[in-house]
Structure 1
Amino acid sequence: MSDELLCFEELDVGREWVSPERVVSTEDIGCFAGLTGDRNPIHLDPEFARTTPFRRCIAHGLLGLSLAGGLAAGAPPVRTVAFLELREWQFRAPVYPGDAIRVTSRVLEKQPQGRGRRGTVVWQIRVLNQNDRVVQEGVTATLVETAQKIARSPNSAAA
Protein backbone atom coordinates (compact mmCIF):
# COMPACT_ATOMS: atom_id res chain seq x y z
CA MET A 1 0.00 0.00 0.00
CA SER A 2 1.25 3.44 -0.90
CA ASP A 3 2.08 5.90 1.89
CA GLU A 4 0.22 8.61 -0.02
CA LEU A 5 -3.55 8.65 0.38
CA LEU A 6 -5.73 9.69 -2.55
CA CYS A 7 -8.21 12.52 -2.09
CA PHE A 8 -11.68 12.90 -3.58
CA GLU A 9 -10.52 14.68 -6.75
CA GLU A 10 -8.10 11.87 -7.61
CA LEU A 11 -10.81 9.19 -7.73
CA ASP A 12 -12.02 9.07 -11.33
CA VAL A 13 -15.37 7.43 -12.09
CA GLY A 14 -14.73 4.07 -13.74
CA ARG A 15 -11.25 3.60 -12.33
CA GLU A 16 -10.60 0.24 -10.67
CA TRP A 17 -8.05 -1.12 -8.20
CA VAL A 18 -7.21 -4.67 -7.10
CA SER A 19 -6.08 -5.50 -3.57
CA PRO A 20 -3.42 -8.00 -2.61
CA GLU A 21 -4.68 -11.50 -1.72
CA ARG A 22 -5.37 -12.64 1.81
CA VAL A 23 -5.68 -16.30 2.78
CA VAL A 24 -8.63 -17.06 5.08
CA SER A 25 -7.51 -19.44 7.80
CA THR A 26 -9.30 -21.77 10.18
CA GLU A 27 -7.92 -19.56 12.95
CA ASP A 28 -9.55 -16.48 11.38
CA ILE A 29 -12.88 -18.30 11.40
CA GLY A 30 -12.46 -19.39 15.03
CA CYS A 31 -11.49 -15.87 16.13
CA PHE A 32 -14.47 -14.37 14.29
CA ALA A 33 -16.78 -16.90 15.96
CA GLY A 34 -15.39 -15.95 19.36
CA LEU A 35 -15.59 -12.23 18.66
CA THR A 36 -19.18 -12.29 17.36
CA GLY A 37 -20.62 -15.22 19.29
CA ASP A 38 -21.68 -16.87 16.01
CA ARG A 39 -20.62 -20.44 16.73
CA ASN A 40 -22.80 -22.11 14.11
CA PRO A 41 -21.32 -25.58 13.52
CA ILE A 42 -21.16 -24.96 9.73
CA HIS A 43 -18.16 -22.77 10.55
CA LEU A 44 -16.47 -24.75 13.30
CA ASP A 45 -17.40 -28.47 13.22
CA PRO A 46 -15.99 -30.49 10.30
CA GLU A 47 -18.21 -33.48 11.15
CA PHE A 48 -21.35 -31.37 10.98
CA ALA A 49 -20.14 -29.50 7.91
CA ARG A 50 -19.81 -32.80 6.00
CA THR A 51 -23.60 -33.19 6.30
CA THR A 52 -24.24 -29.85 4.55
CA PRO A 53 -24.29 -29.02 0.84
CA PHE A 54 -20.81 -27.46 1.28
CA ARG A 55 -19.32 -30.76 2.57
CA ARG A 56 -16.80 -28.85 4.71
CA CYS A 57 -16.58 -25.83 7.00
CA ILE A 58 -17.10 -22.41 5.50
CA ALA A 59 -16.20 -18.93 6.69
CA HIS A 60 -18.92 -16.69 8.08
CA GLY A 61 -20.38 -14.52 5.34
CA LEU A 62 -19.84 -11.48 7.54
CA LEU A 63 -16.20 -12.48 8.03
CA GLY A 64 -15.77 -12.32 4.26
CA LEU A 65 -17.46 -8.92 4.22
CA SER A 66 -15.22 -7.70 7.05
CA LEU A 67 -12.07 -8.92 5.33
CA ALA A 68 -13.26 -7.26 2.12
CA GLY A 69 -13.56 -3.98 4.00
CA GLY A 70 -9.98 -4.24 5.17
CA LEU A 71 -8.66 -5.23 1.76
CA ALA A 72 -10.61 -2.45 0.04
CA ALA A 73 -9.18 0.12 2.49
CA GLY A 74 -5.84 -0.19 0.75
CA ALA A 75 -7.03 -0.65 -2.83
CA PRO A 76 -6.89 2.26 -3.32
CA PRO A 77 -5.50 4.01 -0.24
CA VAL A 78 -7.94 6.88 0.21
CA ARG A 79 -8.43 9.74 2.71
CA THR A 80 -11.65 8.14 3.98
CA VAL A 81 -13.46 9.97 6.77
CA ALA A 82 -16.43 7.60 7.18
CA PHE A 83 -18.04 4.46 5.83
CA LEU A 84 -21.56 5.62 4.95
CA GLU A 85 -23.50 2.84 3.34
CA LEU A 86 -23.62 -0.81 2.35
CA ARG A 87 -26.15 -1.63 -0.35
CA GLU A 88 -27.04 -4.51 -2.59
CA TRP A 89 -24.53 -6.85 -0.91
CA GLN A 90 -24.76 -10.42 -2.16
CA PHE A 91 -23.12 -13.58 -0.93
CA ARG A 92 -22.56 -15.52 -4.17
CA ALA A 93 -20.43 -18.48 -3.09
CA PRO A 94 -18.84 -19.82 0.10
CA VAL A 95 -15.39 -18.87 1.31
CA TYR A 96 -13.52 -21.91 2.59
CA PRO A 97 -10.56 -22.08 4.95
CA GLY A 98 -7.48 -21.81 2.75
CA ASP A 99 -9.14 -19.65 0.09
CA ALA A 100 -7.12 -16.64 -1.06
CA ILE A 101 -9.46 -13.71 -1.53
CA ARG A 102 -8.86 -10.31 -3.09
CA VAL A 103 -11.05 -7.29 -3.73
CA THR A 104 -11.67 -5.15 -6.78
CA SER A 105 -12.88 -1.62 -6.05
CA ARG A 106 -14.32 0.52 -8.85
CA VAL A 107 -15.59 4.09 -8.52
CA LEU A 108 -19.23 4.20 -9.68
CA GLU A 109 -20.04 7.82 -8.85
CA LYS A 110 -18.87 10.85 -6.89
CA GLN A 111 -20.74 13.74 -5.29
CA PRO A 112 -19.14 16.74 -3.53
CA GLN A 113 -20.62 17.44 -0.09
CA GLY A 114 -21.02 20.55 2.04
CA ARG A 115 -18.47 23.28 1.50
CA GLY A 116 -16.21 21.24 -0.73
CA ARG A 117 -14.14 19.69 2.04
CA ARG A 118 -15.49 16.20 1.47
CA GLY A 119 -17.29 14.13 -1.09
CA THR A 120 -19.25 10.90 -1.24
CA VAL A 121 -17.75 8.14 -3.34
CA VAL A 122 -19.87 5.16 -4.39
CA TRP A 123 -17.90 1.96 -5.01
CA GLN A 124 -18.60 -1.35 -6.74
CA ILE A 125 -16.85 -3.96 -4.60
CA ARG A 126 -16.21 -7.52 -5.74
CA VAL A 127 -14.59 -10.23 -3.61
CA LEU A 128 -12.92 -12.93 -5.68
CA ASN A 129 -11.29 -16.18 -4.65
CA GLN A 130 -8.12 -17.75 -6.03
CA ASN A 131 -10.14 -19.22 -8.93
CA ASP A 132 -11.43 -15.76 -9.97
CA ARG A 133 -14.91 -16.69 -8.75
CA VAL A 134 -16.93 -13.81 -7.32
CA VAL A 135 -17.85 -14.92 -3.80
CA GLN A 136 -19.35 -11.62 -2.60
CA GLU A 137 -20.18 -8.30 -4.21
CA GLY A 138 -22.07 -5.11 -3.67
CA VAL A 139 -22.05 -1.36 -3.54
CA THR A 140 -20.67 0.81 -0.74
CA ALA A 141 -20.40 4.54 -0.13
CA THR A 142 -17.68 6.39 1.74
CA LEU A 143 -17.02 9.99 2.70
CA VAL A 144 -13.62 11.14 1.39
CA GLU A 145 -11.63 14.31 2.09
CA THR A 146 -10.93 16.72 -0.76
CA ALA A 147 -7.66 18.43 -1.56
CA GLN A 148 -9.30 21.67 -0.30
CA LYS A 149 -9.82 20.08 3.12
CA ILE A 150 -6.25 18.80 3.19
CA ALA A 151 -4.86 22.22 2.22
CA ARG A 152 -6.81 23.84 5.10
CA SER A 153 -5.68 21.27 7.66
CA PRO A 154 -3.73 22.75 10.58
CA ASN A 155 -1.08 20.06 10.01
CA SER A 156 -0.55 20.91 6.34
CA ALA A 157 2.26 23.11 5.05
CA ALA A 158 -0.30 25.48 3.50
CA ALA A 159 -1.94 26.24 6.84
Structure 2
Amino acid sequence: MVADIYFELCASAIRAVDSNHLVIGSRFGYQPQTNVIAAAGRHLDVVSFNCYDFDASPAIDAYAATGKPCLISEFSFRCDDSGLPNTRGAGPRVASQLERAQCFERYVTAALRKPAVVGYHWFEHADQPAEGRFDGENSNFGTATIQDEPYAELTDTMTRVNAAAEQIHAAAVSAQA
Protein backbone atom coordinates (compact mmCIF):
# COMPACT_ATOMS: atom_id res chain seq x y z
CA MET A 1 0.00 0.00 0.00
CA VAL A 2 2.84 2.39 0.82
CA ALA A 3 4.51 1.68 -2.53
CA ASP A 4 1.25 2.22 -4.38
CA ILE A 5 0.69 5.60 -2.71
CA TYR A 6 4.34 6.59 -3.24
CA PHE A 7 4.33 5.84 -6.98
CA GLU A 8 0.87 7.36 -7.44
CA LEU A 9 1.88 10.62 -5.74
CA CYS A 10 5.23 10.89 -7.50
CA ALA A 11 3.90 10.06 -10.95
CA SER A 12 0.93 12.43 -10.51
CA ALA A 13 3.21 15.26 -9.39
CA ILE A 14 5.52 14.77 -12.38
CA ARG A 15 2.66 14.58 -14.84
CA ALA A 16 1.04 17.69 -13.34
CA VAL A 17 4.04 19.81 -14.30
CA ASP A 18 5.28 17.86 -17.32
CA SER A 19 2.66 15.74 -19.04
CA ASN A 20 4.72 15.21 -22.20
CA HIS A 21 7.52 13.07 -20.74
CA LEU A 22 7.80 9.50 -19.61
CA VAL A 23 7.90 8.70 -15.92
CA ILE A 24 10.79 6.26 -15.80
CA GLY A 25 10.52 5.35 -12.17
CA SER A 26 12.64 5.18 -9.13
CA ARG A 27 15.52 3.20 -10.64
CA PHE A 28 15.46 0.27 -8.28
CA GLY A 29 18.91 -0.48 -6.85
CA TYR A 30 17.88 -4.02 -6.01
CA GLN A 31 14.84 -6.16 -6.69
CA PRO A 32 12.11 -5.37 -4.15
CA GLN A 33 9.11 -7.48 -3.21
CA THR A 34 6.70 -8.38 -6.01
CA ASN A 35 3.95 -6.15 -4.64
CA VAL A 36 6.30 -3.15 -4.82
CA ILE A 37 7.15 -3.97 -8.43
CA ALA A 38 3.42 -4.31 -9.20
CA ALA A 39 2.75 -0.90 -7.60
CA ALA A 40 5.48 0.66 -9.73
CA GLY A 41 3.95 -0.89 -12.83
CA ARG A 42 0.55 0.62 -12.09
CA HIS A 43 1.95 4.16 -12.13
CA LEU A 44 5.17 4.32 -14.15
CA ASP A 45 5.61 4.44 -17.91
CA VAL A 46 8.91 2.54 -17.77
CA VAL A 47 10.33 0.47 -14.91
CA SER A 48 14.05 1.15 -14.43
CA PHE A 49 16.49 -0.84 -12.34
CA ASN A 50 20.16 -1.60 -11.77
CA CYS A 51 21.26 -5.20 -12.20
CA TYR A 52 24.81 -6.15 -11.30
CA ASP A 53 24.53 -9.88 -12.00
CA PHE A 54 26.12 -11.99 -14.72
CA ASP A 55 22.64 -12.46 -16.21
CA ALA A 56 19.85 -9.89 -15.95
CA SER A 57 17.17 -12.29 -17.20
CA PRO A 58 15.59 -13.10 -13.80
CA ALA A 59 15.41 -9.41 -12.89
CA ILE A 60 14.00 -8.49 -16.29
CA ASP A 61 11.34 -11.18 -15.93
CA ALA A 62 10.37 -9.87 -12.49
CA TYR A 63 9.97 -6.29 -13.70
CA ALA A 64 8.42 -7.26 -17.05
CA ALA A 65 5.55 -8.87 -15.12
CA THR A 66 4.22 -5.31 -14.78
CA GLY A 67 3.54 -5.21 -18.51
CA LYS A 68 5.65 -2.05 -18.75
CA PRO A 69 8.86 -1.51 -20.71
CA CYS A 70 12.04 -2.20 -18.73
CA LEU A 71 15.23 -0.15 -18.69
CA ILE A 72 18.43 -1.53 -17.16
CA SER A 73 19.75 1.72 -15.76
CA GLU A 74 23.11 0.42 -14.59
CA PHE A 75 25.31 -2.68 -14.96
CA SER A 76 28.99 -3.44 -15.27
CA PHE A 77 31.73 -6.00 -14.72
CA ARG A 78 35.02 -5.32 -12.92
CA CYS A 79 38.28 -6.87 -13.98
CA ASP A 80 41.18 -8.01 -11.82
CA ASP A 81 43.88 -7.41 -14.47
CA SER A 82 43.22 -3.65 -14.53
CA GLY A 83 45.64 -2.81 -11.73
CA LEU A 84 42.85 -1.29 -9.64
CA PRO A 85 41.95 -2.53 -6.16
CA ASN A 86 38.32 -3.39 -7.09
CA THR A 87 37.51 -3.58 -3.38
CA ARG A 88 34.60 -1.12 -3.43
CA GLY A 89 31.74 -1.17 -5.91
CA ALA A 90 28.94 -3.37 -7.11
CA GLY A 91 28.99 -6.27 -9.45
CA PRO A 92 30.94 -9.33 -10.41
CA ARG A 93 34.68 -9.46 -10.84
CA VAL A 94 36.33 -11.37 -13.67
CA ALA A 95 39.96 -12.26 -14.37
CA SER A 96 40.70 -10.58 -17.72
CA GLN A 97 39.54 -7.81 -20.02
CA LEU A 98 38.66 -10.47 -22.59
CA GLU A 99 36.39 -12.19 -20.05
CA ARG A 100 34.88 -8.80 -19.22
CA ALA A 101 34.03 -8.25 -22.90
CA GLN A 102 32.53 -11.75 -23.11
CA CYS A 103 30.40 -11.04 -20.03
CA PHE A 104 29.12 -7.84 -21.65
CA GLU A 105 28.16 -9.73 -24.80
CA ARG A 106 26.33 -12.52 -22.93
CA TYR A 107 24.55 -10.06 -20.62
CA VAL A 108 23.37 -7.68 -23.34
CA THR A 109 22.44 -10.40 -25.81
CA ALA A 110 20.33 -12.16 -23.17
CA ALA A 111 18.71 -8.84 -22.18
CA LEU A 112 17.93 -7.94 -25.79
CA ARG A 113 16.15 -11.27 -26.19
CA LYS A 114 13.61 -10.06 -23.63
CA PRO A 115 10.86 -8.13 -25.48
CA ALA A 116 10.20 -5.85 -22.48
CA VAL A 117 13.73 -4.40 -22.52
CA VAL A 118 13.95 -0.98 -24.13
CA GLY A 119 17.49 -0.08 -23.13
CA TYR A 120 20.56 -0.71 -21.01
CA HIS A 121 23.26 1.53 -19.57
CA TRP A 122 26.85 0.50 -18.87
CA PHE A 123 28.38 1.95 -15.73
CA GLU A 124 30.67 3.88 -16.52
CA HIS A 125 32.90 5.67 -19.06
CA ALA A 126 36.17 5.89 -17.13
CA ASP A 127 37.63 3.78 -14.34
CA GLN A 128 37.58 5.06 -10.80
CA PRO A 129 40.81 6.21 -9.16
CA ALA A 130 42.81 3.58 -7.26
CA GLU A 131 42.55 5.70 -4.12
CA GLY A 132 38.77 5.79 -4.48
CA ARG A 133 36.21 8.35 -5.55
CA PHE A 134 34.05 10.38 -3.12
CA ASP A 135 32.36 7.24 -1.76
CA GLY A 136 35.44 5.02 -1.78
CA GLU A 137 34.66 3.08 -4.96
CA ASN A 138 37.96 2.13 -6.60
CA SER A 139 37.01 -0.22 -9.39
CA ASN A 140 37.55 -1.02 -13.05
CA PHE A 141 34.07 -0.08 -14.29
CA GLY A 142 35.23 2.01 -17.22
CA THR A 143 35.22 1.48 -20.94
CA ALA A 144 38.47 3.42 -20.65
CA THR A 145 41.21 3.87 -18.08
CA ILE A 146 41.34 6.96 -15.91
CA GLN A 147 43.83 8.27 -18.51
CA ASP A 148 41.07 7.78 -21.13
CA GLU A 149 42.76 4.85 -22.88
CA PRO A 150 40.01 2.53 -24.16
CA TYR A 151 39.83 -1.13 -23.20
CA ALA A 152 39.90 -2.46 -26.77
CA GLU A 153 38.39 -5.88 -26.06
CA LEU A 154 35.43 -4.30 -24.29
CA THR A 155 34.85 -1.34 -26.61
CA ASP A 156 35.20 -3.46 -29.76
CA THR A 157 32.66 -5.94 -28.36
CA MET A 158 30.33 -3.11 -27.33
CA THR A 159 30.53 -1.62 -30.83
CA ARG A 160 29.73 -4.96 -32.48
CA VAL A 161 26.94 -5.99 -30.09
CA ASN A 162 25.32 -2.55 -29.99
CA ALA A 163 25.32 -2.44 -33.81
CA ALA A 164 23.31 -5.69 -33.78
CA ALA A 165 21.05 -4.71 -30.85
CA GLU A 166 18.03 -3.64 -32.87
CA GLN A 167 18.09 -6.84 -34.93
CA ILE A 168 18.49 -9.08 -31.85
CA HIS A 169 15.64 -7.33 -30.06
CA ALA A 170 13.35 -7.30 -33.11
CA ALA A 171 13.79 -11.05 -33.49
CA ALA A 172 12.77 -11.55 -29.84
CA VAL A 173 9.70 -9.34 -30.22
CA SER A 174 8.70 -11.17 -33.42
CA ALA A 175 9.11 -14.55 -31.75
CA GLN A 176 6.81 -13.47 -28.91
CA ALA A 177 4.07 -12.20 -31.24
TM-score normalised to structure 1 length? 0.27
Please identify which structure carries the higher strand content.
1
Structure with the bigger RCO (C-alpha within 8 Å, sep 6+) is 1
Please identify which structure carries the higher helix content.
2
